[in-house]
Structure 1
Amino acid sequence: MHPLHLAPLAMLLVLSTVSCTSIPIPYIAQSPPETGIRYDDAPFSVGIRRMSDAELHRQESLARAGDKRAAFNVYDHYWAENDRARARQWLLFAAELGHGSAQYILAQNYLHENDNEKAIYWARRSRDSGYPNGAELVQRLENP
């Protein structure tokens, strides 16, 4: 083997014996960039609770393009902001797009309003979307 071919190996040997902790590396802690999203710390939260105006606009645009999760995020935002009328509109939109959790919540809402026909309809849609509690709710509603 030619001596020049050994140079990279020799360099690796030298570098492997030098401790990286002895070399001062400048580090400045930086906060993450502002996304406009403030996540709720509730253990069962499934949406984005509060958003900046810019992020809300972005989520609404995504939802109008067919993104069911974005529609649910907008519902969750308005619910957290206590705007129940807008929240209900977005919940219905998310459910129509096929969001299983939105369908389940809508079924529960109609059940609370004593509209069993709509409650069963949305419970079935929730079950068919694969939402875990949807099947149990359908069973309960169809076999009282």
Structure 2
Amino acid sequence: MRLSSTALSLALLALLASAGCKQIPYAPLPAPPTGIRYEPGANSAGIARMSESELLRQKRLAQAGDKRAALNVYQHLRSVDNDDAQARDWLVLAADLGDGAAAYNLAQIAIYTHDAAGARFWAQRSKAAGYANADALLQSLEEQD
């Protein structure tokens, strides 16, 4: 007798359900390496905080052309220091250095502030950098015209 794939799947599920499942304890994975040297034990609302010397090091790396460091500075200023104006400058630097995600975020900010020309500009830069979602954003902007 041959079982259909549906019957076989149901039989397998029934077997697994009857076997019982052991509770697997949760163990968080360590954070991936980002190149940031965080200050031990210091955080703001659960966000690891860079020391002042590390923030300065990241700024220097960004000014030397490291787009990831520019994003690190942006994220720190935005989430830890709550300095949106200064953080945006670092996001612009990251986008200017070719980071597609940074350009995409700038396009989203431009949409939020009703700057259609800015949104198109940054969406195009994001697409040119190869960011996956930029194409869909550009299409939606063109549909609004």
Residue number in structure 2 paired with 1:60? 59
> What is the aligned length?
103
Unaligned runs of 5+ in 1: 1-33, 41-47
AA in 1 matched with 2:141? L
Helix, strand or coil: the match of 1:143?
A: helix
Unaligned runs of 5+ in 2: 1-35
Backbone CA RMSD of aligned residues: 2.2
AA in 2 matched with 1:36? Y
* 1:104 maps onto 2:104 in alignment: yes
Deviation, structure 1 residue 57: 0.8
Q: TM-score, normalised by structure 1?
A: 0.66
Q: 1: distance between equivalents of 2:84 and 2:66?
A: 21
Residue number in structure 1 paired with 2:8? none
Q: 2: distance between equivalents of 1:140 and 1:37?
A: 42
Aligned partner (choices 21, 31, 35) of residue 37 of structure 2: 35
Residue number in structure 2 paired with 1:51? 50
Q: 2: distance between equivalents of 1:136 and 1:49?
A: 33
**Larger strand proportion, structure 1 or 2?**
2
Q: TM-score, normalised by structure 2?
A: 0.65
For residues 12-60 of structure 1, what are the alpha-carbon distances to aligned partners after superposition, in whole Å with 9 as ceiling and x for unaligned? xxxxxxxxxxxxxxxxxxxxxx93268x9xxxxxxx9631111111110
In structure 2, the CA distance between the partners of 1:128 and 1:83, relative to structure 1 (3 Å rule), is same
AA in 1 matched with 2:126? S
Segments of 4+ moved more than 6 angstroms: none
